[in-house]
Structure 1
Amino acid sequence: MLDVSTSHHWKIPAILKTWGPGLIVMLADTDAGCLITAAQSGAQWGYTMILPQIVLIPILYMVQEITVRLGIVTKKGHGTLIRENFGRGWAWLAAGTLAISSIGALLTEFAGVAGVGQLFGVSKWVTIPIATVILIAIAFLGSYRRTEKIGILFGLGELAFIIAMLMVHPDLHAMGQGMLTIPWRHSSYVYLVAANVGAVIMPWMIFYQQSAIVDKHLAVTAIKKERHDTFFGTLLTQGIMLVFIITFAATLYHSGAHRPLGTVVEMANGLAPFLGTWPTRILLGVSMLGGAMVAALVVALAGTWGITEVLNWHHSLNEPFNRKSAGFYIIYVLAHVIGAVLVLVNFDIVGLAVTVEVINALMLPIVLGFLLVLEATALPPKYRMHGWYKWLVWILSGIVMAFGLYMIGPTLQLW
């Protein structure tokens, strides 16, 4: 591994120059769907859901760290490497499932935006078009770095919910007991753990971070800084998930009010008796809107990068809109427009969401499999994993892929 430790390594300008891809993709990881999953986990199983989130920290970091080395060393996006190393057929498989998954994820984000609007009595016919215009406009700024900064600012809104957690005064002793309790015999607990695995490691995260690193033109000497960026982002995203779990465990679970939490409005209705109506609306609204907006930006870019890389089209946010880059920008715009329209016209989102969940479950083994093989073949030997760490990553990735496949059964009600 490279050692680029220097006396100026932790100076703010150096951090700002290289950090970003890991942080923004991790903030996007806690999107509207993930936050709802975390709230549901805390409401149904209380503090017993804390330990799975902590265990996922090293797994999430290990997976995304591979994209750091692949992006910086090869200077190529994930879709490009799949096409060059496995052929167009496999590349089209990865790009096709990624496109469907991205549209499905965008539906979740726009539904989250609509839900936040509902908290304040604003129609989705107002909130969704505004959000769509903002998200499209961001991509036309002519700079990846500007896009990244705006996305991170959106995502930091998720931290507002820390105030909610502090307001409910969680019981530290009960939290400790919950962390030592694993009700693995209950199928609903195992199902929610699997859902949390799926909510933490998303296939589009791999495509986004690798392509973002390429678009940021980082040198090989930045590998260590990007690892720190990814690790900090990992702690942040899992911390946000824990904040939601703890808040709903200390309120709904503790009181026995196990209400359904499938939407933003249901989350607010469940929490309002403990925090008050307006504090709940403000804190939950800011958190959910921040998560939904940064995720919509990242998911659309991940899908666009993946497709254009497979097609071998120009695919950089640093290139202005012109004949060469038109395909890239058109796909990005269409992704947002399609997602927004489907939510506005009340398309069968529930049915589509089930399909997307299955696709994500199927895609996770495919994408992680590609990632591990590329790490072992596309990188020069000095940049590959070695020894016990390599086997640890492979074993943990195998566990994640198994959970992904397990999700197919409950989602399709096969078991």
Structure 2
Amino acid sequence: MQPSKESARKSPRAKSLAALWARVKAHPLARLGPGLITGAADDDPSGIATYSQAGAQFGLDMLWTMPLAYPLMSAIQSMCAQIGRVTGEGLAANIKTAFPPIVLKGVVLLLLIANTLNIAADVAAMGEVAELVSGVDRHLMTVFFVLVTLLLQIFVPYHRYVFFLKWLTLSLLAYAAVLFTVHVPWGEVALRTVWPKLTLNFNTAAVIVGIFGTTISPYLFFWQASQEVEDMRAKRSAAPLLEDPKAARTELRRIRWDTWSGMFVSDLAAYFIILATAVTLHVSGTTDIQTAAQAASALRPLAGEFAFLLFAIGILGVGLIGVPVLAGSAAYALAEAMGWKSGLERSPKNARGFYAVIAISVLAGLVIQYSPISPMKALFWSAVINGVVAVPLMVVIILIASSKSVMGAFTSSRAIVALGWIGAAVMGLAAVLMLVPG
């Protein structure tokens, strides 16, 4: 058989690039599912600010929060993923079916407000960090990042867009790399991880609340469930497990691996952020960090230019993941609640309401930069709303994941459900502490 004219015209360089692209797409990282992106989005710039403050203020004595948070966050995200794959519907659609309308309306409204405020804090942090690195005005850089994330979500098909998001998760490695530039007392680190020295007071409680509030966040619940649905729809032969039970064993095993590994990467990165700031900022007496950009800037004289650049790259990388996840999760929730067509694989013409929510939430976050509302206040109120809505939402997720009428034979295991209830209790306590005046 003679080669086609098209293949004959391809230059050796074009063929080598095509071969390289094929190898990249076949890489194990490219085959990982929604858990990896969800985990990376958990360490968004506002989360980095929280973890940095914990390390700067308390040193090594806040490291214990990450080992505790890991099984709790993994369990709830695993339930969300299972709900999406079993039913073929996102979290909001399942809540709409299983609970009174007031439950869904309240959750979605609070989610929209919290996500918009969180987007505002995140893009502000990205703009500040970009200014530190490039010298270009932070507001111009903020506009640039907003337009990039918005255009990618609206005009690039999901199966291509998600591919690049997965590779952006490598930016989380920057926080581990920072530790190679400074002295780390590993023996003391191990001891303080399991045996911290803490004085229980309002300041301590506030930081613990902030850590758990930014680690176990409602927007991640909606995103994870909806991305399982997106992945299922991208495979033409796939169907919800309720309709295709033969695929259950393989798919549920994949979900467990994907979710727990994704949350492990997220948790480990957060642990490294606390550790990096503990052995640099806290040791030097810098104990008050308000933004992720401040944390990066404060590292420069203490750990050197390379450590500063690593930290800054991490902030920008996870910001480019976190903002689309925040906007996308709000869009999925409202679209499912309203019965609109939704999905990043659809064109804007076929899912106008869905993409309108994405555009409005991201642009509203940008507008806040030029309003009297400070990004830090936006972050604070976002944390408050997330803390309030997380607990009842976690209860709803556990009930759905345990319901045979919804999940059929694929309800979550007793161990996962037990971890979910423990997580809800921890978040409930955190919400109470957060709302009690100091």
TM-score, length basis structure 1? 0.90
Matched with 1:187 is: 202
1:372 aligned residue: 398
Q: Percent identity?
A: 20
Compared with structure 1, are the counterparts of its residues 348 and 108 closer, same or farther at alpha carbon in structure 2 (3 Å cutoff)? Answer: closer
Query: Corresponding residue for 1:327?
Result: 353
State yes or no: 1:173 paired with 2:199: no
Q: Which amino acid aligns with 2:279?
A: A
Note the alpha carbon deviations across 1:146-177, whole angstroms, 9 max, x for none. 22222223332232222211111200122123
**How far did residue 357 of structure 1 move?**
2.1
User: How far is 1:204 from its partner?
Assistant: 0.4
| Structure 2 CA distance for partners of 1:395 and 1:199, relative to 1, 3 Å | same
Q: Quote the residue 1:395 is aligned against.
A: 422
Secondary structure in structure 2 of the residue aligned to 1:76: coil
Local SS of the residue matching 1:383: coil
Comparing 219-228 and 204-213, the one that deviates more: 219-228
CA distance 1:184–1:52, change in 2 (3 Å): farther
The equivalent residue for 2:111 is: 98
Native 8 Å contact 1:20 1:148 kept in 2: no
Deviations 1:313-342 (A, max 9, x none): 0001111121x4111111111111111121
Which residue of 274, 283, 296 maps to 1:268?
Answer: 296
CA distance in 2, matches of 1:268, 1:216: 35
Cα deviation, residue 274, structure 1: 2.1
Selected match of 1:343 from 354, 358, 369:
369
Residue matched to 2:169: 155
TM-fit CA distance, 1:242: 1.1
Larger Rg: 1 or 2? 2
Matched to 2:256, the amino acid is R
C-alpha distance in structure 2 between counterparts of 1:183 and 1:60, whole Å: 24
Measured on the aligned residues, the alpha-carbon RMSD in Å equals 2.1
Once the two structures are overlaid, the 10-residue window that deviates more, 293-302 or 132-141, is 132-141
CA distance, structure 2, for counterparts of residue 135 and residue 270 of structure 1: 28
Q: 1:96–1:147: structure 2 CA closer, same or farther, 3 Å change rule?
A: same
The number of residues matched between the two structures is 397
2:92 alignment partner in structure 1: 79
**Matching residue of 1:126:** 140
Equivalences for residues 14-413 of structure 1 within 5 A: 19-120=32-133, 121-179=135-193, 180-217=195-232, 220=241, 221=247, 222-255=251-284, 257-276=285-304, 278-322=305-349, 324-345=350-371, 347-377=373-403, 378-387=405-414, 389-409=416-436
Distance in 2 of aligned mates of 1:368 and 1:393: 7
The one-letter amino acid of 1:34's match is G
The answer (yes or no) to whether the contact 1:184–1:190 under 8 Å persists in 2 is no
Contact 1:103 1:335 in 2 (8 A): yes
Cα distance in 1 for partners of 2:29, 2:191 equals 40
Following the alignment from structure 1 to structure 2, what is the Cα–Cα distance between the partners of residues 76 and 349? 34
Superimposed CA distance per residue, residues 185-209 of structure 1 (whole angstroms, 9 cap, x where no aligned partner): 2432222112111111010000001
Instruction: Say if 2:210 and 2:383, in contact at 8 Å, map to a contact too.
Output: no
* 8 A Cα contact 2:206 2:434, kept in partner: yes
Q: How far did 1:406 drift?
A: 2.0
For residue 3 of structure 1, what is the aligned residue in structure 2? none
Query: SS where residue 118 of structure 1 aligns?
Result: helix
Task: Give the secondary structure class of the aligned counterpart of 1:353.
Answer: helix
Structure 1 residues 385 and 319: CA distance shift in structure 2, 3 A = closer
Change in CA separation of 1:16 and 1:287 when aligned onto 2, cut-off 3 Å: closer
Name which of structure 1's ranges 376-385 and 307-316 shifts more when overlaid on structure 2.
Answer: 376-385
**Does the aligned pair in 1 maintain the 2:72–2:423 contact within 8 Å?**
yes
Q: Distance in 1 between matches of 2:280 and 2:374?
A: 32
Structure 2 unmatched ranges of 5 or more? 1-24, 233-237, 242-246
The worse-fitting range, judged by mean Cα deviation, of 345-354 and 158-167 is: 345-354
The 1:321–1:385 alpha-carbon spacing in structure 2 relative to 1, beyond 3 Å, is closer
User: Does the 8 Å CA contact 1:119/1:281 hold for their aligned counterparts?
Assistant: no
Greater shift, 283-292 or 22-31, is seen at: 283-292
How big is each residue's C-alpha offset from its partner over 1:63-112, in whole Å with a ceiling of 9 and x where there is no partner? 10001210011000111111111133221111111100110110111111
Residues 31-73 of structure 1 deviation map (CA, whole Å, 9 limit, x = unaligned):
1111111111111111111111111111111010001210011
